[in-house]
Amino acid sequence: MGKVVFWQGNRAIAMGAIAAGIRFFAGYPITPSSEIAEILSAELPKVGGTFIQMEDEIGSMAAAIGASTAGLKSMTATSGPGFSLKQENLGFAIIAEIPVVVVDVQRGGPSTGTPTKPMQGDFMQARWGTHGGFPLIAISPSTVRECYDFTIEASNLAERFRSPVVILSDEVVGHMRERVELPNESEIKVINRKKPTVPPEKYLPYLADPEDDVPPMAAYGEGYCFHMTGLTHNEWGFPTNDPEKIEAMNLRLLRKFEKGKNLLTRYSTFEVEDAEILIVAFGCVARSAMRAVREARKEGYKVGLFRPIIVWPFPDEPLREIASSVKAVIVPEMNIGLMVREVERAVAGRCPVYSLTRLDSDILTPSQIVEKIKEVA
Amino acid sequence: MPRENIMRFIRTRFFPHIFCPGCGHGIAVHAMLRAIDSLGYNPQDIMVTSGIGCSGRIPGYINANTLHTTHGRSLAFATGVKLAKPNLKIIAVMGDGDCAAIGGNHFIHAARRNIDITAIVLNNYIYGMTGGQVSPTTPHGAKATTAPYGFIEQQFDLCKLASAAGAVYVARTTVYHVAQVERYIRKAIQKKGFAFVEVVSPCPTQFGRRNKIGDAVKMMQWLKENSIPLSKAKRMSPEELENKIVIGEFADRDAPEYTELYGELRNRIRGEGA
Ligand SMILES: Cc1ncc(C[n+]2csc(CCOP(=O)(O)OP(=O)(O)O)c2C)c(N)n1
Ligand code: SF4
């Protein structure tokens, strides 16, 4: 057994980052994410890493990407309004294929909204916030232990796919404290980006491995002289207007996720075997949903829980399969009803899908979910 | 044709380049490469970052570590690179809009932080790439596609701004004074800390033609005739200095540099921990 701690979710993310080998953090304070920056400002120099508080979120995102191009695993953290500011450079990381972890501890919106209260309003922003519509990866923790584990996983996926990875946390998960048994160091698996094996003269920064469609990534300052740009580029990293090259680059950006689908399908289920009603919930709401399932079962309702863990790409296929054998799906979420659209798309008419939302910035409770179950049953 | 030593810094594979005939950006880049070469650097030692604009396309043609980022963010990306690889000599190239409009916040804070980056702004008084809209450095009264009746705002003096924000080396010159461009950039690269060089660079396509200065040759003449050395400018009245380009070194001082300070902090913390 590893060390036992009593940690806040945000601390677990910061410490998970250290365990993952993240050695650079650039950020700008915003509630409810600021503890991540505060803790890393103390912890990173201890392990030889670097922390910088930038002048804004745009600069933080830029500096984090810059550090990653120079070979450091890097991260930034923010909440809704700051996440909006990062979106342009998030797109840069997608097209230039730079691994970087972006934590969004969601709060209530729109705009400055309710800074100290929970909501799940950035579910769509995580996936569609930057222009262009290209995919990235987003992972959502529900417990403090998961904050730790999923930060390591986020870093690993970023390195593996050369992609930005969003950790979609929320105020409840970020600020709650839980007793956590940390994994032993030997249990922690850390993945590093694939480096080029060819000499510098032969290196083409965007020549992908046919197997996984991910190009090996040299680091600036290590003898390889290469170009990266946010413009659509050829294998040399040089801008191109050639329709064939443009299409080839764009298709490869899609293909690398398609080929790595197994690694990107991550969800958990609870009591789904004989379920007649399926709850689909993520983040803090999944905790209430778990309790609701237990309570409803006591009263004889056959209910199960499906929790998307990697929320983008959305786990369409496993959800569709389970939805094929239930009578109804309920999607409780603390927003105007965002994930329910994805669920409807995945379920594709196999059964009716009901939305349950709460917008007063208080937590969606187990009893509210039980009530909905009774209504639908 | 540049000398062989300079050619090793050029990616001829990526030619033809996108710059218009008579654009000043090429002269500035050549001077920059001569400065780099004269200091004995090799391509691997140098990192060039840029934002977006005609100036933003410069790193693509330079054989070094090169990163073409988003509009206005050259310095913010460069900050991350520098902190990750302090041994790299970092040159951040910017356009005037890039540096002073959208990137203004990063500009003043990189200067304040005194991080070891050589920031070069190629000031053509206009947005070149997007077709000649006004920039914060467009002279009062000048015409632009978004100021068809003449620009009513005041012009930004980037050297005064950089100096006040804390840059340890600040200089301005024009591509007409090409030996000075090379000399100032050389000094800026050698300086430890945030060094800023403003190079006034003609954009005949978007600025010269519209403001009746004329073609590339006329614009060079205009740079020559309107440039005033700082020493002389000190004795001139504001009226006399109107529409003049004051060239020279505005700051040259020493101050603690950020990456070194962070390195010391790290050593101190780790020493205590041990
Ligand atoms: C966020 C964003 N806003 C606007 C643009 C459009 N844009 C491209 S270049 C440019 C201005 C270029 O002018 P300048 O920075 O002075 O450089 P120059 O082209 O004159 O060298 C603008 C506004 C952009 N690419 N990104
Ligand atoms: S538009 Fe102006 S700045 Fe851009 S390449 Fe042409 S001359 Fe140079």
Q: Select from A63, A258, A74 the least CA-distant residue to A159.
A: A74
Average pLDDT (B1-13) is 91
Residue from the list B52, B65, B83 with its beta carbon closest to the beta carbon of A50: B83
pLDDT at res. A142: 98
Q: What is the pLDDT of residues A341-353, one digit of tens each?
A: 999 999 999 999 9
User: Beta strand pairing status for A277-280 and A227-229?
Assistant: unpaired
pLDDT at res. A280: 98
Q: Is B169 helix (H, G, I), strand (E, B) or coil?
A: strand
Average pLDDT (A308-335) is 98
Phi, psi of B176 (to 5 degrees): -65, -40
In the structure, what pLDDT confidence band is assigned to residue B273 with cuts at 50, 70 and 90? low
pLDDT at res. B2: 83
- Judged by its nearest atom, the ligand closest to the C-alpha of residue A231 is 1
Q: In this structure, which residue's CA is closest to atom 9 in ligand 1? A: B53
Percentage with pLDDT > 70 across chain A: 100
Across chain A, mean pLDDT equals: 98
In the structure, what pLDDT confidence band is assigned to residue B205 with cuts at 50, 70 and 90? very high
Average pLDDT (A171-192) is 97
Whether B222 has a pLDDT exceeding 90, the answer reads: yes
In the structure, what pLDDT confidence band is assigned to residue A97 with cuts at 50, 70 and 90? very high
Distance from the alpha carbon of residue B53 to the mean position of ligand 1, in angstroms: 4
DSSP states along A153-185: HHHHHHHHHTSEEEEEEEHHHHH-EEEEEPPPG
**A67, A74 contact by CB (below 8 A):** yes
CA distance A165 to A264: 11
- Judged by its nearest atom, the ligand closest to the C-alpha of residue B93 is 1
Phi, psi of A33 (to 5 degrees): -110, -10
**B101, B64 contact by CB (below 8 A):** no
Whether B1 has a pLDDT exceeding 90, the answer reads: no
Ligand 2 pocket list (CB less than 6 A):
B 19-20, 23, 25, 54, 124, 128-129, 203-206
Residue type, A317: E
Average pLDDT (A117-142) is 98
- Burial of A176: CB neighbours in 10 Å, binned 0-12, 13-18, 19+: middle
Q: What is the pLDDT of residues B124-180, one digit of tens each?
A: 999 999 999 999 999 999 999 999 999 999 999 999 999 999 999 999 999 999 999
Average pLDDT (A288-309) is 98
Q: What is the pLDDT of residues B10-36, one digit of tens each?
A: 999 999 999 999 999 999 999 999 999
Q: What is the pLDDT of residues A55-92, one digit of tens each?
A: 999 999 999 999 999 999 999 999 999 999 999 999 99
Q: Is A258 helix (H, G, I), strand (E, B) or coil?
A: helix
Residue type, A167: I
Average pLDDT (A21-33) is 98
CA distances from B238 to B158, B226, B242, B246, B257 (A): 17, 14, 6, 12, 35
How many Cβ atoms from other residues are within 10 Å of residue A213's Cβ? 19
Distance from the alpha carbon of residue B132 to the mean position of ligand 2, in angstroms: 9
DSSP H/E element including A293: helix A283-298
Average pLDDT (A225-249) is 97
Whether A195 has a pLDDT exceeding 90, the answer reads: yes
Token reading at A100: 């970087």
CA distance A221 to B45: 7
In the structure, what pLDDT confidence band is assigned to residue A277 with cuts at 50, 70 and 90? very high
Average pLDDT (A183-207) is 97
CA distance B164 to B159: 8
pLDDT at res. A56: 98
CA distances from B253 to A152, B231, B259 (A): 44, 18, 18
Token reading at A105: 């501890």
Cβ of B70 within 8 Å of Cβ of A223? The answer is no
The predicted complex's ipTM stands at: 0.97
Distance from the alpha carbon of residue B246 to the mean position of ligand 2, in angstroms: 23
Average pLDDT (A271-285) is 98
Average pLDDT (B182-186) is 98
From chain B residues 37-96, the ones with a CB under 8 A of any chain A CB are: 43-44, 47, 49, 52, 57, 59-60, 63-70, 73, 76-85, 87-88
Phi, psi of A21 (to 5 degrees): 95, 10
Whether B274 has a pLDDT exceeding 60, the answer reads: no
